[in-house]
């Protein structure tokens, strides 16, 4: 038997950390190859981690709600014979100098299914590879081959004392983390002293019954917060403190980077979209797949082909401007986890019906929290449909690395001049923000008027498809 530890792998797109959401396993469980062992939340998506080995779980090294850095051990397994895990990574921190010789004498690289970025075998030779080895590989633990079963018991009981004393299921641990309750200070009311959900909720509602906090500063802060609470108004929510992490942290970093890197400029255009609205109604009534957003998306793709500066990228490293030969269209979605921008890849090659299908599917997947990192990457230009919230116009902030973002306002019935008379028409406002390093004012204006012209008279699109 051998003990193997699994380190959080690189989940792609250069992400350096993930939050552990939930364990699907417990200590003592027997797992199979590729069995889902945990859910982790990156800055972009919730990802299920599969087990790359078959074995028995001996230790869970992280708690639900904990933010874990890539390369940090999260679980240890006991595997038979050592064949189930790949060889150790030559330059990984946990590998000892003496492990280089067995690695060099190892046979050819074992066949292995790569299920996530960071999984997979180490280099075939003992010589360090040119690139840094991936952090998600398995490494032998310090007690990789115990001399006797007693050694396994020793390794298991060497976990932190707090974890050994406190018994609780992963959902209860996550609840305790969310409510700020220290499980080590609780006496469980469940069987064999297991801490239950009721125990955590009771401790959260009466924090004074717990033991003293770890630090005097934390104690004084809690006393100030609980000794004289402000009078609550009926129907007004209580004060809440939310950790800055996950999607909110990534969104904040992206907005700050964009606002203080790209010089933003914005232009606005109010257009009569009555004909487009009639077209969408006729298509949907006839059983075709269509939506106003899909038509706008098609117009953006066509306008970007005429004004490629709006579909470009400023590359500081290469000191060049990249004008993309395709349109990967980002669609801003207000999801329960926060702002998400899934991407319709190769949107320029899709019909209105195909765009409607792609946008609808991405929106549903985003709201369900099931987007993959690939679905959130590679955008070249973005649309933000703020009109669904009843907003007329705004000045959207660019997605970092992109040259333009179009905000579409709400469609409203307004008095509007039409063929020399004032009539009630369907009117909406388009707001375009662009990177002034890449896009001149004239180019931005031409792009926006081009989109507006196609929405005012969608028949003109036929001559450009």
pLDDT of residue 40: 87
| Dihedral angle sign, alpha carbons of residues 72, 131, 77, 32 | positive
Provide the domain limits for residue 351.
249-463
Strand, helix or coil for residue 61 = coil
Choice among 3-17, 23-37, 87-101 with the minimum mean pLDDT: 87-101
Give the residue from 79, 96, 119 where a domain finishes: 79
Residue at 98 is within a domain? no
What span, in angstroms and rounded, lies between the C-alpha atoms of 340 and 358?
Answer: 15
Helix intervals (H) in 286-393: 292-306, 352-367
**What pLDDT, on the 0 to 100 scale, is given for residue 17?**
82
Cβ-contact 46, 30 below 8 angstroms? no
Q: Is residue 268 part of a domain?
A: yes
In angstroms, the CA 328 to CA 376 distance is: 11
Share of the chain above pLDDT 90, in %: 46
- Which has more pLDDT, 135 or 313? 313
Contacts 24+ apart (CB under 8 A), 300-305: 300/327, 300/329, 300/381, 300/383, 300/406, 300/451, 301/327, 301/329, 301/347, 301/348, 302/450, 302/454, 302/461, 302/464, 302/465, 303/447, 303/450, 303/451, 303/454, 304/348, 304/381, 304/447, 305/348
Tokens at 324, concatenated: 């993309």
Q: What percent of the chain has pLDDT over 70?
A: 72
Residue 203 lies in a domain: no
Per-residue pLDDT at 88 exceeds 60: no
Of these residues, 264, 313, 326, 436, which one is catalytic?
A: 436
The residue-averaged pLDDT of 395-401 equals: 94
Q: How confident is the model at residue 94 (pLDDT cuts 50, 70, 90)?
A: very low
Catalytic: 436? yes
Q: Write down the pLDDT at residue 206.
A: 66
> Does residue 143 carry a pLDDT above 70?
no
CATH number assigned to the domain comprising residue 420: 3.30.559.10
Q: What is the mean pLDDT of residues 13-25?
A: 82
Task: State residue 13's pLDDT score.
Answer: 56
Which tens digits make up the pLDDT trace of 291-323? 999 999 999 999 999 999 999 999 999 999 999
Does residue 459 lie within any of the structural domains? yes
How many structural domains comprise the chain? 2
**242 in helix, strand or coil?**
coil
Q: What is the CATH number of the domain that holds 14?
A: 2.40.50.100
Q: Would you put residue 364 in left (φ > 0), alpha (ψ -120 to 50) or beta?
A: alpha
Tell me if 88 is assigned to some domain.
no
* Whether the predicted pLDDT of 69 surpasses 80: yes
Whether residue 347 lies inside any domain: the answer is yes
Least trusted range by pLDDT, from 107-111, 256-260, 324-328, 374-378 = 107-111
Q: What's the whole-number average pLDDT of the chain?
A: 78
Q: What are the E-state strand segments in 252-297?
A: 264-272
pLDDT tens for residues 186-206? 888 876 677 887 888 788 776
Q: Which pLDDT band holds residue 14 (cuts at 50, 70, 90)?
A: low
Domain boundary among 79, 102, 131: 79
- Residue 278 maps to a domain: yes
pTM value? 0.58
Of the spans 126-130, 160-164, 458-462, which averages the highest pLDDT?
458-462
Please name the helix (run of DSSP H) or strand (run of DSSP E) that holds residue 14, with its range, or none: none
Please tell me the least confidently modeled range out of 36-40, 45-49, 121-125, 395-399: 121-125
**Of 48, 64, 79, at which residue does a domain stop?**
79
Give which of 386, 356, 203 is closest to 294, Cα–Cα.
Answer: 356
Give the CA radius of gyration of the chain. 28
Which is higher by pLDDT, 239 or 407? 407
pLDDT of residue 177: 76
Domain presence at residue 211: no
């Amino acid at each position: 038997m051998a003990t193997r530890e699994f380190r959080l792998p690189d989940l792609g797109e250069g992400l350096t950390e993930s939050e552990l959401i939930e364990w699907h396993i417990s200590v003592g469980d027997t797992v199979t190859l590729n069995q889902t062992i945990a859910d982790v939340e990156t800055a972009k998506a919730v990802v299920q981690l599969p087990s790359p080995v078959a074995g028995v779980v001996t230790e869970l090294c992280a708690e639900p709600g904990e933010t874990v850095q890539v390369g940090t051990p999260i679980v240890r397994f006991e595997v038979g014979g050592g064949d189930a895990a790949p060889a150790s990574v030559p330059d990984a921190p946990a590998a000892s100098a003496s492990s280089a010789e067995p690695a060099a004498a190892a046979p050819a690289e074992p066949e292995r299914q790569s299920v996530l970025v960071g999984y997979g075998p180490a280099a075939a030779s003992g010589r360090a590879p040119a690139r840094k080895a991936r952090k998600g590989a398995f490494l032998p633990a310090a007690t990789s081959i115990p001399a006797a079963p007693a050694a396994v018991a020793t390794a298991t009981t060497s976990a932190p004392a707090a974890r050994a004393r406190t018994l609780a299921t992963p959902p209860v641990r996550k609840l305790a983390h969310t409510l700020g309750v220290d499980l080590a200070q609780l006496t469980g009311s469940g069987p064999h002293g297991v801490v239950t959900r009721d125990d955590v909720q009771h401790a959260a509602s009466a924090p004074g019954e717990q033991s003293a906090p770890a630090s005097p500063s934390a104690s004084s802060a809690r006393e100030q917060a609980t000794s004289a609470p402000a009078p609550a108004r009926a129907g007004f929510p209580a004060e809440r403190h939310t950790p800055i992490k996950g999607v909110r942290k990534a969104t904040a970093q992206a907005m700050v980077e964009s606002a203080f890197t790209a010089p933003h400029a914005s232009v606005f255009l109010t257009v009569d979209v009555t004909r487009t609205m009639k077209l969408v109604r006729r298509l949907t009534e006839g059983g075709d797949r269509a939506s106003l957003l899909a038509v706008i998306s098609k117009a953006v793709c066509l306008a970007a082909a005429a004004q490629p500066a709006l579909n470009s990228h400023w590359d500081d490293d290469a000191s060049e401007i990249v004008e993309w030969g395709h349109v990967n269209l980002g669609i801003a979605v207000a999801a329960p986890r926060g702002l998400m921008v899934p991407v319709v890849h190769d949107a320029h090659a899709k019909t209105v019906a195909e765009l409607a299908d792609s946008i609808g599917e991405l929106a549903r997947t985003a709201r369900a929290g099931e987007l993959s990192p690939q679905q959130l990457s590679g955008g070249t230009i973005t649309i933000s449909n703020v009109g669904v919230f009843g907003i007329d116009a705004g000045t959207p902030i660019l997605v970092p690395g992109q040259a333009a973002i179009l905000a579409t306002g709400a469609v409203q019935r307004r008095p509007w001049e039409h063929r020399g008379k004032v009539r009630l028409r369907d009117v909406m406002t388009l707001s375009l923000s662009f990177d002034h390093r890449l896009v001149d004012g004239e180019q931005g204006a031409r792009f926006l008027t081009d989109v507006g012209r196609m929405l005012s008279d969608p028949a003109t699109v036929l001559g450009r498809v």
